[in-house]
A and B are shown apart, each in its own frame.
Chain A
Amino acid sequence: MANRTIIPFGPQHPVLPEPIHLDLVLEDEKVVDAIPKIGYVHRGLEQLAEKRDFNDYLYVIERTCGICSFMHGMGYVEAMERIFDTEIPDRAKYLRTIWAEMSRVHSHLLWLGLLADAFGFEALFYQTWRLREQILDMFEESTGGRVIFSVNKIGGVLKDMPKEMLQKFVRNFDGMEKELKKLTNVFLNDYTVQSRLKGVGMLSPQDAVYLGAAGPMMRASGIKIDTRTLGYAAYSDIDFDIITSKECDCYARCDVRIQEIFQSFHIIRQAVNKIPDGEISVAVKGNPNGEAFMRVEQPRGEAIYYCRANGTKFLDRVRVRTPTFTNLMPLLHTLKGCELADVPLLILTIDPCISCTER
């Protein structure tokens, strides 16, 4: 047996947007084991539910993560709407859908940029993030925030998007789609990129299920599950495909996310065409009592929200299960047996969001 070395990886590492630590056990250049350690960005956001009015807590839970902030807010308000047993106006549902899909595009573009950065293709990284900047501008124009949107409320949304704005966004997305096609040609067909992604980090469909992979990580292993099919927000009225791939490697994960961006454009266009006129929120009165679960499909996979209320304005418990947390086990599995040089890439392909994981 070759000598074993332990190499600490993280919490500060150029490839990591957020802190996670791995002890990599190496035999020569081969990783034989990886021991993770999390807990660097724990902020106790769940506990704050006991100290903040349930309406104001929305602004806390949104800040769980800077990428899917909209989805976190939406998951929480939809759970609370279940407790209150309120039906929100249709227009609010569509607006939520549009913002949620814009978040997905934004998140996947961010990830593509990081991926390019991880395999050392700086120019591609900048190109991707330039595209993402347009989405951030659209967010700022429609919600007032570039990262944290604060447009949800229990019972609907706070801001409307007028027709002209929606049409302008659709035109922007048409332009972005053209640009993105050129970029994805590089991601999917470039020889250098393929040499880094193909056949790396295999995760078989059985393992994906057994280890509880979520989101694109799971769909890239051919498992066709997408929480959007449950039909929260306006998804029940909208046609979309669940993107899967049979390749099971890093290339497949990249491919799935890219196709999901195009699907999101498709969903946004449909939503803009179908959006009904009318109110954007209903008043919700009194204090909540009871408990509810809500599942939403975040860019990284399925997130679960659980809220329990006791009839006062403070909640007893809020629990969030985030997709990155469940994706850690498949990550450790794919790390075993890989080359040391592939470790950053493998960590990135789960699209880690450590802030979500630790809250």
Chain B
Amino acid sequence: MAGLMKFTGLALRNLFSKPATQNYPVVPREYPERSRGSVQNDIDQCIFCGSCQRKCPSGAITVDRAARTWTIDRMGCVQCENCVNNCPKNCLKMDTHYSEPSAEKTVVTLHSEPPAAPEKPKFTPEQIEAMKKAAAAKKAAAAAKAEE
């Protein structure tokens, strides 16, 4: 009966050792640095080029250039990291945390306002007057120089 009781040693050890599992969620799960959890976009950097949309094998990303929105279907994304690797602005990144579980399909839409057009400087009437005078003086000086 040499073949009997082979497991006993292991079973006894298990009885007296601490559990192999982790007491989640009391002890939070620590993700390694490279863990591919969910895609995040720093939307202010995004130029809405649509490269991520074209590169996504599961078609989870929609980019609307006119409306300046970037939309991701969280449950359609398979965390392949292809969009992150192909973003020209490097504004996409892979977060180590997975997206929240949900009973409905989570779609996240990010929007950014168009960058404001550079403001035209405003001057008071006195300043304009002063500038005109300065311009006239310059012209006169140039004319005087030419006469010499």
Q: Which residues of A contact B (CB under 8 A)?
A: 52-53, 56-57, 59-60, 63, 121, 123-124, 127, 130, 133, 137, 140-145, 148, 150, 158-159, 182-183, 185-186, 189-192, 194
Known A-B contacts A140-B32, A141-B34, A143-B34; the reply to A190 vs B78 at CB < 8 A is no
Is residue B18 within 8 Å, beta carbon to beta carbon, of the partner chain?
Answer: no
Q: Is the CB of A56 within 8 A of B7?
A: no
Cross-chain contact B34 with A59 (CB below 8 angstroms) = no
Residues of B within 8 Å of A63, CB to CB, are 78
A59 to B78, CA, bound (A): 9
16 residue pairs A–B, Cβ–Cβ below 8 Å: A56-B55, A57-B57, A123-B7, A123-B11, A127-B14, A140-B31, A140-B34, A144-B34, A144-B36, A150-B36, A182-B9, A185-B6, A186-B6, A186-B10, A190-B6, A192-B3
User: A145–B38 Cα gap in the complex (Å)?
Assistant: 12
B63 an interface residue at 8 Å Cβ cutoff? no
Provided the pairs A59-B78, A59-B80 are in contact, do residues A183 and B94 lie with their beta carbons within 8 angstroms?
no
**Residues in A neighbouring B82, C-beta threshold 8 A:** 56, 59, 150
From B1, B9, B57, contact of A56 by CB (8 A):
B57
Nearest B residue to A126, CB-CB? B20
Contact partners of A145 in chain B: CB under 8 A? 35-36, 79
| Least Cβ–Cβ distance between B117 and chain A, in angstroms | 37
B interface, over-half SS: loop
Interface core residue of B11, B34, B79, B94 (most chain A CB under 10 Å): B34
Residue from A133, A142, A145, A148 with most neighbouring chain B CB atoms (10 Å): A145
When the two chains form their complex, are residues B1 and A191 in contact, meaning their CB atoms are under 8 A apart? yes
- B contact residues around A189 at 8 Å (CB): 2-3, 6
A109 to chain B: closest CB distance in Å?
14
Q: How large is the interface on B (under 10, 10 to 19, 20 to 34, 35 or more residues)?
A: 20 to 34
CA of A130 to CA of B19, assembled, Å? 11
The reply to whether B78 and A130 form a contact with Cβ atoms under 8 Å apart is: no
Name the residue on A nearest B58 (C-beta). Answer: A59
Q: Are A150 and B6 in contact, CB atoms less than 8 angstroms apart? A: no
- CB-contacts of B1-50 with A (<8 A): 1-4, 6-7, 9-11, 14, 20, 31-32, 34-36
Residues in chain B near residue A190, CB distance under 8 A: 3-4, 6-7
